[in-house]
Amino acid sequence: MAFKPPIECPICRDVLELDRTLEDHLVGAHTHDEVARYLATLHDQVEMQPVSD
């Protein structure tokens, strides 16, 4: 059987229990604003990466 590493929340860095999903954690522990702010920051980081020739 393959080993599944524990899931860590990218916002608060909590390690989730094995029976919890990231989606359940985000909905229950974070506001919509927190999730939106994280996603906007992530999107900005992707946009700013330089393109190599």
List the domain boundaries for the chain.
7-47
pLDDT the model gives residue 4 = 81
pLDDT the model gives residue 28 = 96
pLDDT the model gives residue 1 = 62
Ranges of the chain whose pLDDT falls below 70? 1, 46-53
pLDDT the model gives residue 51 = 62
- Cβ neighbours of 7 (radius 10 Å): 15
d(CA 53, CA 43): 22
